[in-house]
Copies of this chain bind each other. A is one copy, B any other.
Amino acid sequence: MKNILIIGAGRSASACINYCLENAAERGWFVTVADSDPEQAEKRINNHPNGRSAWLDVNKQNDRMDLISRHDIVVSLLPAHLHLLVATDCIKYKKHLVTASYVSKEMYRLGDEARDASLIFMGEMGLDPGIDHMSAMKLLNDIRAKGGEITNFRSYTGGLIAPESDTNPWHYKFTWNPRNVVLAGQGTAQYMEDGKYKYTPYSRLFKEYVTIDVPGMGKYEAYANRDSLLYREIYGVEGIPNIIRGTLRCQGFCDAWNALVQIGLTDGSYPIHDADKITYHEWMNAYLPRGTGSVKERMAAFLGEEIDSDVMDKLEWLGLFRKIKINVANATPALILEHLLLSKWSLSPGDKDMIIMQHEIDYQLDGKEYHVVSSMVMKGEDENDTAMARLVGLPMGIFVKLIIDGKITTTGVNIPVMSEVYEPVLEELEKYGVVFKESEVLVEA
């Protein structure tokens, strides 16, 4: 078993591909990188003797099945909704599968079939989800091993821009899929607070952020990330009164993003009329009730902001009130926003991104209460070699190695919460600078 197929050669694929190629040389693996853009795949391989590229339109069933049948392990870096196609083929041809995406209900339904065929289908094997699960489980299990009882679990991750490359008033740049950034949070966030279920609809998700302190880094805003309740059972903390997973942003981001949500700019469900003809100024006007004053003034009034507030400054900086053509035909609000943000939030040459992950755990031991904060901060090298790409890609690469080395006994559809996975993966990640700093305080009982 030494033939690895990596499907997808986009920006976030490089770290995973490089890891596999580096190991391929000394271990005799062969790595195929398949993409709908064969030149891109070729570029990632970069003439490595153990690598080759393949052209793949993943919707072409025969091509896909042929390619998968000729490998032992498949790493799918495709958009999440396409993993199921690949997974079905993996069942058919008995291949292991690794992804960094949230495991869907449909994927979990393949669990029995995968287990029956002794296959390893590992999802959520990236950064968030991925390293967050692994580092959290290590913390939780270490506390449980010494007899502690977990009472609160809060975990936050943010893909941010490093302070030295922070050059805009949003304090944010794209370091992963822009479309996912625009659509982030749609649905209803669920978590548990003081023993009660909590629901935060999208329309107020970015209003109800909390501010957390990251040791040595300062304050960040955190908004609730999807359904945190799903992880109660998986983490083994069913009865816990507080559990929340959150996404980190720099201070000031959430209020301004909330303004975009309230206006309606993150909606991807219908096209804007004449989007190729109108200006941003006209587009904003289309959302505003009749009234007097400039579009900017009416927008400020609608949002309940002063005309020179930080939120209005951020909207102004985006150019939303400028009489410049949008120039995107048949586009939804979300797509127009994505195009606009791409022109504003792209990494410049030399820009360093930054990942922050922080777990905050309370536990009781021998009648005393402890509060643990475990934080990891990692910066990228430049606009291509980002911390995001590394931390999404390396866990998958390391996990592929563990499969090939026969170190993984867990079969079926899983996420990385078992020690046979997280111990070796976290250990190897440390060599790449993924180091958590832990501080524990005794809380007065």
Which chain B residues lie closer than 8 Å to A208 at the CB level? 289
A204 touches which one: B187, B193, B262 (CB < 8 A)?
Answer: B262
State the CA gap A274–B274 with chains docked (Å). Answer: 47
Contact with B along A308-347 (1 / 0, CB 8 A): 0000000000000000000000000100000000000000
Which chain B residues lie closer than 8 Å to A196 at the CB level? 282, 285-286
CB closest chain-B residue, reference A227: B270
Contact with B along A193-213 (1 / 0, CB 8 A): 110111111011000100000
Chain B nearest CB, measured from A185 CB (Å): 13
* A267 part of interface (Cβ distance < 8 Å): yes
Which chain B residues lie closer than 8 Å to A285 at the CB level? 196
Chain B nearest CB, measured from A160 CB (Å): 25
Q: Is the CB of B187 within 8 A of A270?
A: yes
Chain A, range 230-287, C-beta contacts under 8 Å to B: 262, 264, 267, 269-270, 272-274, 282, 285-287
CB closest chain-B residue, reference A198: B286
CB closest chain-B residue, reference A193: B290
**Contact size range, A:** 20 to 34
Chain B nearest CB, measured from A340 CB (Å): 17
Chain B nearest CB, measured from A29 CB (Å): 43
State the CA gap A338–B289 with chains docked (Å). Answer: 30
* A188 part of interface (Cβ distance < 8 Å): yes
A201 touches which one: B199, B267, B289, B290 (CB < 8 A)?
Answer: B267
Chain A, range 175-223, C-beta contacts under 8 Å to B: 187-188, 190, 193-194, 196-201, 203-204, 208
A197 touches which one: B187, B193, B286 (CB < 8 A)?
Answer: B286
State the CA gap A418–B387 with chains docked (Å). Answer: 63
Which chain B residues lie closer than 8 Å to A290 at the CB level? 193-194
Q: Is the CB of A188 within 8 A of B262?
A: no
Q: Is the CB of A287 within 8 A of B194?
A: no
Which chain B residues lie closer than 8 Å to A204 at the CB level? 262
* A120 part of interface (Cβ distance < 8 Å): no
Known: A199-B272, A286-B198, A289-B208. A267 touches B188 (CB 8 A): yes
Which chain B residues lie closer than 8 Å to A333 at the CB level? 199
Chain B nearest CB, measured from A351 CB (Å): 34
* A229 part of interface (Cβ distance < 8 Å): yes
CB closest chain-B residue, reference A282: B196
Q: Is the CB of B203 within 8 A of A269?
A: no
Q: Is the CB of B197 within 8 A of A269?
A: no
Chain B nearest CB, measured from A196 CB (Å): 6
A273 touches which one: B197, B262, B270, B272 (CB < 8 A)?
Answer: B197
Of the A-B pairs whose beta carbons lie under 8 Å apart in the complex, a sample of 16, sorted by A's number, is A188-B267, A193-B290, A196-B282, A196-B286, A197-B272, A197-B274, A198-B286, A199-B264, A199-B272, A199-B333, A200-B264, A200-B287, A203-B203, A203-B264, A208-B289, A229-B273
The 9 closest A-B pairs by CB, nearest first: A201-B264, A203-B203, A197-B273, A197-B286, A199-B286, A188-B270, A208-B289, A198-B286, A199-B287
